[in-house]
Amino acid sequence: MAAAGEDGQAALAAVTALLGVRPEDRELLLRRSELEFTVGHARKGVEILRRLTERYPEDRDLVDRLEEGKLRLRVALLPGEVQTLAEQPILTRGDYALLLYWLMPGVRSGRGASPRIATDILEHPHREAIAQVINKRLMAVDETVHRFSPERPVTRVVALESLLRVLGERAGEEPTCLGAAGLSPRPSQAWICRAAVGCRLIEAEGDCLPQAPLSGAGALEMMRRALGQLGDG
């Protein structure tokens, strides 16, 4: 009845009560985990998934849910303006840079080798995050006119290339999924799509859709997969 009435709090209370009778029921535990993420406490949702993966270590679906849960917890702890990006149907380049800045390890710390100038971010509310992403060489600036174009929609190929660069930087040496030559300064779209499959950021090259826009949910899924490659919880 709670679910039919879309009363999340009542549904969470009912599932919690049922687990008092059937504490090992897998489906009830998964349902409670999901409700904790939506109307309860994200940390509890992660802990439930962690216990289930310990019980069923070979279940890939549970491992994926746990990785997704960790990312949802990370997002829940971020400033509200960052959390709302997860719900956006289309992200701008500035939006995506802000997600990279907050969610991918190593992006906020340190500085790039040589500062790069983008004149159109000086008045942008997220200029600090964008500047850091630019100077880390994770996203490009048009060097001719020194513009980043933060209000343009970010494309999937730009997002995938940025995550491949994060993987390469954190690995210390180029990960094998990038190939022997590693990531060049200006890789082709085809190469990025192939490398994204090899690094498990997407399932197949047909999922690359290089020039398509990217939603907040789509960006988080790519980042979840990248974090899984980094082994970063």
pLDDT value, residue 178: 82
Domain with CATH 1.25.40 in the chain: 8-76
For the entire predicted model, the pTM comes to: 0.84
Task: State the Cα–Cα distance between residues 41 and 4, nearest whole angstrom.
Answer: 22
Is the distance from CB of 88 to CB of 211 less than 8 angstroms?
no
Which distant-in-sequence residues (6+ apart) come within 8 Å of 189 by Cβ? 157, 208, 210
Residue 151 exposed, middle or buried by CB count within 10 Å (0-12, 13-18, 19+): exposed
pLDDT value, residue 232: 53
Q: What is the pLDDT along the chain (233 residues), one digit of tens a residue?
A: 888 888 999 999 999 999 999 999 999 999 999 999 989 999 999 999 999 999 999 999 999 899 889 998 988 889 899 999 988 999 999 999 999 999 998 898 877 656 778 999 999 999 999 999 999 999 999 988 999 999 999 999 999 999 999 998 865 555 678 876 678 888 999 999 999 999 999 999 999 999 999 999 999 999 999 988 887 54
Residue 78 exposed, middle or buried by CB count within 10 Å (0-12, 13-18, 19+): middle
DSSP line for 196-214: HHHTTSSSSGGG--TTSB-
Distances (CA, A) of 122 to 119, 149, 168: 6, 12, 29
Evaluate whether the domain defined by 8-76 bears CATH number 1.25.40. Answer: yes
pLDDT value, residue 233: 45
pLDDT value, residue 171: 53
pLDDT value, residue 228: 85
